Amino acid sequence: MEGHNPRAHSGRQARRTQEERSTETRRRLVEAAIRVTQESGYANLTISKVAQEAGLTNGAMQHHFGSRDDLVLGMLDALYPALDLASEDIASKKLPIKERVCIVIDQLWQIYSRPEYLVIWDVAFGTRSDPQLSRKLQNYQRDIAARLLKQVMNQFADVGLTHEGAAQIFYFATSCLRGFAFQAVFAIDRRRSDVEQLKEIVCERIQAFASSGSRRK
């Protein structure tokens, strides 16, 4: 074929393969770091332990994560991803408030109910003596919360829920979900019923905002 350069095509393939290998290596290192923290605690999270757990060298670890702070933030990305709550799809369907609440709470609970989520508590407490990393974690948490709050507001944009009202309900719900998840530390296994009760409370609060908004019109 005129103008076809097999070497150029081969080079693109090689670059893609290298990117894939790099992504896979980062994933292995992050998962190893989570396991080390689960088994030994954040205080014992070291580059050498993570590299050994991942079956890689210290050099590979330092190549992909320039510092321990970078590794910790990589762990949070894996443990606490910003969810896509599919707000446009739900808004277009005009689902009842209760059904929307169930969808939102269930999707948030998918984050908090994972056993690995408890690593976040360990990291949060373990970084209190490191002001620089602690600030990074706080900023990370605020960014995640802001994105999720915006998505939640999109879910209920048509029911008169103000930004202040949405924030109150959102932070109340996420605080409860974190608490339910933390119960696992004490082997308390009634979290599913707690989540169902939370859905009822959130639904009542949103309906109250919707009713007050209708009265103001």
Q: Is residue 96 part of a domain?
A: yes
Strand ranges in the chain using DSSP code E only, listed in sequence order: none
pLDDT at 55: 94
Q: Is residue 53 part of a domain?
A: yes
**High-pLDDT (> 90) share of the chain, %:** 34
Domain identity same for 138 and 55? no
Domain identity same for 59 and 101? no
Domain identity same for 52 and 114? no
203 pLDDT higher than 80 = yes
pLDDT at 89: 65
Q: Is residue 74 part of a domain?
A: no
Domain that residue 133 falls in: 80-216
Mean pLDDT of all residues in 16-41: 90
Mean pLDDT of all residues in 78-82: 75
Domain identity same for 124 and 191? yes
- The DSSP code sequence of 133-184 is HHHHHHHHHHHHHHHHHHHHHHHTGGGT--HHHHHHHHHHHHHHHHHHHHGG
Domain identity same for 112 and 209? yes
Q: Whole-angstrom Cα distance, residue 152 to residue 170?
A: 8
3 pLDDT higher than 70 = no
User: How many Cα atoms occupy the beta-carbon half-sphere of 215 within 13 Å?
Assistant: 6
Q: Are 176 and 198 in contact (CB under 8 A)?
A: yes
**High-pLDDT (> 70) share of the chain, %:** 83
Q: Is residue 1 part of a domain?
A: no
46 pLDDT higher than 80 = yes
Q: What is the residue type of 100? A: R
Mean pLDDT of all residues in 178-196: 82
Separation in Å, CA 144 to CA 138, 139, 148: 10, 9, 6
Domain identity same for 95 and 198? yes
Q: Is residue 56 part of a domain?
A: yes
Domain identity same for 86 and 56? no
Domain identity same for 152 and 198? yes
Domain identity same for 30 and 107? no
**Dihedral, 123, 120, 115, 147 alpha carbons, nearest 10:** -160
Q: Whole-angstrom Cα distance, residue 16 to residue 11?
A: 9
Domain identity same for 23 and 62? yes
Domain identity same for 99 and 152? yes
Domain identity same for 130 and 206? yes
Residue after which a domain boundary falls, among 67, 90, 111: 67
Of 141, 150, 157, nearest to 210 (Cα)?
157
Q: Is residue 54 part of a domain?
A: yes
pLDDT at 16: 62
Q: Is residue 163 part of a domain?
A: yes
Structurally, the chain folds into a number of domains equal to 2
Q: Are 69 and 136 in contact (CB under 8 A)?
A: yes
* Residues with Cβ within 8 Å of residue 32, at least 6 apart in sequence: 50, 51, 53, 54
Span 132-171, pLDDT tens digits: 999 988 898 899 889 888 888 888 888 888 888 899 999 9
DSSP 80: S
Domain containing residue 51: CATH number = 1.10.10.60
